[in-house]
Structure 1
Amino acid sequence: MIQLVPSQDNEQVHRLRDYSFSNKYIGEKRNDFQYWVEYSTTIGAYDERKLVGQLLVLPLNMTIHQTSYKMGGIGFVCTYPEFRNRGIMKKLMIRALEEMRKNGQSVSVLAPFSVSFYRYFGWELFFDKLNYSIPSEAFPNFGNELDDVKRFSFEWLEEQLFEDVCTFYNDIAKNMNGFMKRDGAWWKRIHRREPDSHFAAYYKDDKIQGFVRYQIQNLTFIIKDFVVKDYLAEQALWRYISSHSASVYRITGNTAATNHFGFHFNQPQFKKELVQDCMVRIVDVTAFLSEYSWAELTEPMYLRIQDHFAHWNEQLYCITNNGDVEIVESDLIVDDKVLSLSINIFSAMIVGYLTVSEAALYAKHQPHEATLMAWEQALRKEKPSFYEYF
């Protein structure tokens, strides 16, 4: 039986999570997990009264081309081993899609344990992350400047500085394709999970222009957040980071692979590794497209979606010159005017990961060149970046 997990079964949720994952939650991590069990849509599979499978849909948000969408973050997906290969996970995923649609979460993101598994259910890769490791001999050198950098930590919190960081982050997130705005609950989650975090905020003319959140462990400077307004702020924060060269031997972090990371460093040759560890899915195509920020609409465009697990998406859509989204009869439109995509490919295209021409390679029918051109003009081009984890 698949149902929403009642609060009296929360302890079973903890037991199933702890059994299924390698690290048992204790202390603040357990408290954090309990918070999200309570505030998420927690879906369970039951064998009579025993919880044998589960997933959480976290109530989050996501900025896509300057529009903020309600987003369902899928996490803590697991079943007991003796109940696997019985179709339980399929039922949980279908129920999750239904619940997200009901809750107005028109987009979903997850971190896959298996890309092929979640691709089967309609999620698709959408962000190429670059993990980097910079040895001491390659630390960036941007000269000596008297930068206005203010430092604090979760342990020795300075309320005004922290408020500046939170506000600055959300101001940047509003304009960054793929970013989540962080509310107080999300910052508390970061605090509970990474309590040793330090912050360094760069100010110019008494206004914050960027910050780095980091930890120092095992002689390594570990960058957790690096968010800046411009190149001057980036240089200032790298000067701050490199000033630790007497006490750390390595700098690690991650960034978008599209950033040409390290290009402007004096020594750009260091270890970089491409990682694809997050997937996206449009849950409700009509609702999503109704809010989408189009670049340029020159003529009506037609879109057909194949979606085996969210039947409400299997429609022929017309996007009018005004950006209105209508469902039309399929036999009224010839195929070469229609962009016909699976929900996976459509999801990757509409968030900016795939171009229209790249997506069209996977189309069921090859549309006319004029049709592709209209879509190229209509869609925004910014590549997505997503750094959160749940």
Structure 2
Amino acid sequence: MVKDIEKFIEVYGDFKMRKLTEDDLEQFNGLLRYAFQITMEDLLHTGWTENQIMQAKMPILKNGYVIGWFYHDKLASMIVVYSMKVNIHDNICKMGGVTGVATYPEYTGKGLIHSLIKHAIMHMYQEGQSISFLYPYSIPLYRKHGWEIISDKITFTIKDTQLPKKEPVEGMMERVDLECEDLLNVHDYFSMQRHGAMIRDKLAWDEYWRWDSDDIIAAVYYNKNHKPLGYLIYYIRNDIFYIKELIYLNTEAHHGIWNYISAHYSMVKEVKGNNYSGEPMAFLFEDSEIVEKIEPYFMARIIDVQEFILRYPFLVKLQKLNLNFKINDSIAKWNNGVFNVYWNGEETICQKTNDIRAANLVEMDIQTFTTMLMGYKRPTFLYECGRIQTEYYMLRILEQLIPVEKPYFSDYF
């Protein structure tokens, strides 16, 4: 137990905020299980024992930034920040992955989560993580703290009679080990060229596999030269073919993977999966009357507006344009103000000013700024929703500057 008062980040009466260590593993695990209702039945379903689950979380305490409020040495509330990387329009950025936001019910209403989130944002800013991602258990809560929806999950159901007919391909699918290097390399290549995708390191892959049961299967598509061009991760249960992830690098691999799925025609009644491209899949099928359900998935928050703008790949560099973003951010004060943006050749220049009467002013909150630059919602749509305040002529300029591609994010942490 920490005794040195200097190790406490903040003290509020009988509550003390500090970083969690490996000595706090049992309390860390207990709060996670309570808050997210992980039961023994869930553990048995995945084939994990309670002790294995607890030990599997040890790398989080070692590698993640985990802070919590303690009440008389008992963990009351906590938040976890992973150090990750994500592709933003072909620009690899440091990303703070927020998870494990939890409080025991007897300590709610005391502002513990709010203060933890503020500290997490400051930590990410100091670490140079210019953007943060999270999976929301409460969209209104995270919007209040500056996050906004930036990706969708489209769940689809395909009847066995709707599976696509076989397309001729020269390669073939091979079932592989879950840690197969070819599978990992395909994802690396895919994520490096797909906006929004996470660059998975060991910690990210561990999180990706954490709750999968023993019946999960991986298969890689190889072309005629045995070059890996795509993969499928799936399992079959109760006559249903469940797709966890389907990734392909070209049309040949796409056809090859669906040929493989369709080869299970006699074994399953339907195929279920998730699509993270932001576009419905029905158009791709001969029988397009498939069932698709769309729901918001991940949220993001720009942590450092100036750094994010400097690294952002604007589509055009308008040499005679001075663009001024007025950003409202009540939590990260360094983001609150006017950012003057212009271009010197190919170089983007961004300087913070206090000129609220500057020409070409575009005003919005940090949530709107994030979802706009991430490409989830276009400037004109956000203007029509009342989320952007500017002169109408500025919309055409913004539409020219911001790439047209929705984020692809298939991870969960």
TM-score normalised by length of structure 2: 0.87
Q: 1:200 to 1:81 in 2, by over 3 A?
A: same
In structure 1, runs of 5+ residues without a counterpart are none
Match of 2:410 in 1: 387
Match of 1:201, as an amino acid?
Answer: V
Aligned partner of 1:201 in structure 2 is 220
Cα deviations by residue, 1:280-304 (Å, 9 ceiling, x for unpaired): 1111111211211111021221101
- Taking the aligned partners of 1:340 and 1:290, their CA distance within structure 2 comes to 18
Query: In the alignment, does 2:15 pair up with 1:13?
Result: no
Query: 1:326 offset after TM fit, Å?
Result: 0.8
Is structure 2 residue 378 aligned with structure 1 residue 375?
no
Match of 2:134 in 1: 110
> 1:66 Cα deviation (Å)?
0.6
Equivalent of 1:71 in 87, 90, 95 = 95
- Is residue 90–residue 195 contact of structure 2 (8 Å, CA) maintained in 1? yes
Q: Could you tell me how far 1:332 is from its partner in structure 2?
A: 5.5
- Indicate which of 206, 222, 233 corresponds to 1:188: 206
Does residue 165 in structure 1 map to residue 183 in structure 2? yes
2:315 paired residue number: 295
Which whole-Å deviations, capped at 9, do the CAs of 1:341-360 have from their partners, x for residues lacking one?
Answer: 10010010011111111233
The count of corresponding residues between Structure 1 and Structure 2 is 382
Distance 2:191 2:388 in 1: 37
Aligned residue in 2 for 1:339: 362
Tell me if the contact between 2:282 and 2:288 (Cα under 8 Å) persists in the aligned partners: yes
Partner of 2:353: 328
Is the alpha carbon distance of 1:170 and 1:364 closer, same or farther for their aligned partners in structure 2, counting shifts above 3 Å? closer
Paired with 2:400 and 2:285, the residues of 1 have a C-alpha distance of 35
Q: Deviations over 1:204-244 (max 9, x none)?
A: 12211111111122222111111111222111100001111
State how far apart, in whole Å, the 1-side matches of 2:203 and 2:27 are.
24
Structure 2: distance between partners of 1:137 and 1:362: 42
> After superposition, what is the alpha-carbon deviation per residue over 1:267-289, rounded to whole angstroms, capped at 9, x for unaligned?
22122111112111111111211
Task: Determine the C-alpha separation between the residues in 2 that align with 1:197 and 1:28.
Answer: 18
User: How many Å apart are 1:254 and its aligned residue?
Assistant: 0.8
Native 8 Å contact 1:107 1:284 kept in 2: yes
Give the letter aligned to residue 342 of structure 1: D
Of residues 287, 292, 308, the one that matches 1:267 is: 287
Residues 37, 217 of structure 1: CA spacing in aligned structure 2 closer, same or farther, 3 A cutoff? farther
Q: How does 1:137-286 map to 2 (within 5 A)?
A: 137-143=161-167, 147-154=171-178, 162-194=180-212, 195-204=214-223, 205-256=225-276, 258-286=278-306
Distance of 1:127 and 1:141 partners within structure 2: 30
Distance 1:364 1:191, change over 3 A: closer
Amino acid at match of 1:226: L
List aligned pairs for 1:92-107, cutoff 5 A. Answer: 92-107=116-131
- Residue 138 of structure 1 deviates from its aligned partner by 1.5
CA distance in 1, matches of 2:287, 2:86: 35
User: Residue by residue, what CA displacement relative to the aligned partner does 1:70-113 show, whole Å, maximum 9, x if unpaired?
Assistant: 11111111111111111111111111111111111111111111
User: Is 1:126–1:279's contact at 8 Å kept on the other side of the alignment?
Assistant: yes
Give the letter aligned to residue 141 of structure 1: K
Higher mean displacement: 176-185 or 342-351: 176-185
Shift of 1:305: 0.5
CA 1:146/1:63 → structure 2, altered by over 3 Å: closer, same or farther?
Answer: closer
Q: Distance in 2 between matches of 1:256 and 1:262?
A: 14
* Amino acid paired to 2:22: S
User: How far 1:371 moved relative to its partner?
Assistant: 2.5
Q: Quick one: which amino acid aligns to residue 379 of structure 2?
A: V
Distance in 2, Cα, partners of 1:292 & 1:341: 18
Runs of 4+ in 1 over 4 A off after TM superposition: 143-146, 362-365
Structure 2 residue 376 is matched with structure 1 residue 353? yes
Cα distance in 2 between the residues matched to 1:377 and 1:128: 24
Separation in 2, partners of 1:285, 1:81: 35
Between stretches 365-374 and 240-249, larger displacement belongs to 365-374
What's the offset of the Cα at 1:27? 5.1
Distance (Å, rounded) in 2 between the aligned partners of 1:373 and 1:193: 46
Listed one character per residue, the Cα deviations across residues 100-132 of structure 1 (whole Å, up to 9, x for unaligned) are: 111111111111111111111111111122101
2:191 corresponds to which letter in structure 1?
A: A
Structure 1 residues 3 and 27 mapped into 2: Cα distance closer, same or farther (>3 Å)? closer
Give the Cα separation in 2 of the matches to 1:292 and 1:257.
21
**Corresponding residue for 1:82?**
106
Instruction: Give the CA deviation at 1:338.
Output: 0.8
Aligned to 2:334: 312
1:11/1:266 Cα in 2 relative to 1: closer, same or farther (>3 Å)?
same
Conserved 8 A contact 2:154-2:280 = no
Counterpart amino acid of 1:238? W
Percent identical pairs in the alignment equals 26
SS at match of 1:330: coil
Asked if the contact 1:301–1:371 (Cα under 8 Å) also holds between the matched residues in 2, the reply is no
- In 2, Cα distance between equivalents of 1:48 and 1:313: 36
- 1:364 to partner: Cα distance: 7.1
Q: Which amino acid aligns with 1:316?
A: V
Tell me the alpha carbon deviations over residues 159-206 of structure 1, each in whole angstroms, 9 at most, x when there is no partner.
xxx111211211111111110011233223334432432121111122
Q: Is the 8 A contact 2:280 2:292 kept in 1?
A: no
Q: Which moved more, 1:168-177 or 1:196-205?
A: 196-205
1:368 CA displacement:
2.5
Letter in 2 for 1:374: I
Unaligned runs of 5+ residues in structure 2 are 1-15, 44-49
